[in-house]
């Protein structure tokens, strides 16, 4: 199937009132595992790379080459997404190497700086015909490759202004979750943000560790993309633990790939994305 852009996936999620999973992967087997799940459940996905993932892959160029090739041969729609892009230089490099969706994260900066830098990032994305995600408020917690500080909830009035002045395609919001394996979703705040941003696709970061009920209710309240990283990495590492044959690691890697696919498939179904691809 031809590789797709983030805007196409978000439009489908908005029409169908479901959330597209954004799976952060840091090696080939993890990427293959989430694609196994996506194809098995006939679901669209974002195949995502943050700064730590890019480093582990060997750079933006290698991650893009692998991500694009996997997306092109997949039987379901796959967008190759830069997660938590910290500056314009990284966004430009990602565009140059073929990423089809971008996130600029200025959430740790003061509001006016975040506005100004997000506007510049949105202009880059618009010129390239690529969707841009931004973050307002700040999702705290800890995750390799993600700059975090103390969580700051997203204010609906500020979100309205931010969206109007930046023209972003989607907005990552801070509604109680955290990067890592923690968080409770403030559903009332999700609803207020959805109204304030006129049904702009809202993104939930820190989807790992959130209760099944909270994830379902968050989608019903207006979340249209959910990022999942820690759960995948924990499943992969757990499957490898004690399973590696000193002479041939391939069996252990296949087992870890399967463990990732199980987690990814569960999240696909939970978010309502099954059968949407």
How many angstroms separate the CA atoms of 32 and 50, rounded?
Answer: 17
> Catalytic annotation on 83?
yes
Please tell me which residue in 83, 105, 169, 214 is annotated as part of the active site: 83
H helix and E strand count, the chain: 11, 10
Q: What are phi and psi of 264, to 5 degrees?
A: -60, -40
Please count the other Cβ atoms lying within 10 Å of the Cβ belonging to residue 275: 12
Cα torsion for 9, 15, 19, 22, to the nearest 10°?
10
CA–CA dist 221, 215 (Å, integer): 10
102 Cβ contact list (under 8 Å, min separation 6): 6, 81, 82, 85, 91, 94, 95, 121, 124, 125, 130, 131, 132, 133
Give me the phi and psi of 218, to 5 degrees please.
-65, -40
Phi, psi of 203 (to 5 degrees): -115, 135
Tell which residue, 180, 202, 181, has the closest CA to residue 191.
Answer: 202
The packing angle between helices 187-196 and 212-221, to 10°, is: 20
Is 9 exposed, middle or buried, given 0-12, 13-18 or 19+ CB atoms closer than 10 A?
Answer: buried
CB atoms within 10 A of CB 156: 16
Q: 188 CB contacts (<8 Å, ≥6 apart)?
A: none
Active-site residues, by number, are 83
């Amino acid at each position: 199937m031809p590789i797709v852009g983030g805007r196409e996936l978000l439009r489908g999620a908005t029409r169908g009132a479901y959330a597209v999973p954004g799976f952060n992967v840091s090696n080939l087997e993890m990427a293959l595992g989430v694609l196994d799940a996506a194809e098995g459940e006939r679901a669209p996905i974002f195949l995502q790379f943050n700064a730590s993932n890019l480093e582990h892959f060997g750079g933006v160029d290698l991650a893009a080459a692998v991500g694009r090739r996997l997306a092109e041969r997949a039987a379901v729609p796959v967008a190759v997404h830069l997660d938590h892009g910290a500056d314009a230089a990284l966004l430009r490099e990602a565009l140059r190497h073929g990423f089809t969706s971008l996130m600029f994260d200025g959430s740790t900066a003061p509001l006016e700086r975040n506005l100004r830098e997000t506007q510049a990032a949105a202009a880059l994305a618009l010129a390239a015909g690529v969707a841009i995600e931004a973050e307002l408020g700040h999702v705290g917690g800890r995750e390799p490759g993600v700059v975090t500080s103390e969580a700051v909830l997203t204010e609906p009035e500020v979100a309205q202004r931010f969206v109007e002045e930046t023209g972003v395609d989607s907005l990552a919001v801070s509604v109680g979750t955290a990067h890592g394996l923690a968080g409770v979703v403030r559903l009332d705040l999700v609803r207020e943000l959805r109204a304030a941003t006129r049904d702009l696709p809202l993104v939930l970061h820190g989807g790992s560790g959130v209760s099944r009920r909270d994830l379902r209710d968050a989608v019903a309240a207006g979340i249209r993309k959910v990022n999942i990283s820690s759960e995948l990495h924990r499943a992969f590492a757990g499957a490898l633990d004690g399973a590696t044959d000193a002479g041939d690691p391939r069996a252990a890697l296949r087992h870890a790939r399967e463990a990732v696919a199980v987690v990814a498939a569960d999240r696909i179904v939970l978010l309502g994305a099954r059968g949407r691809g």
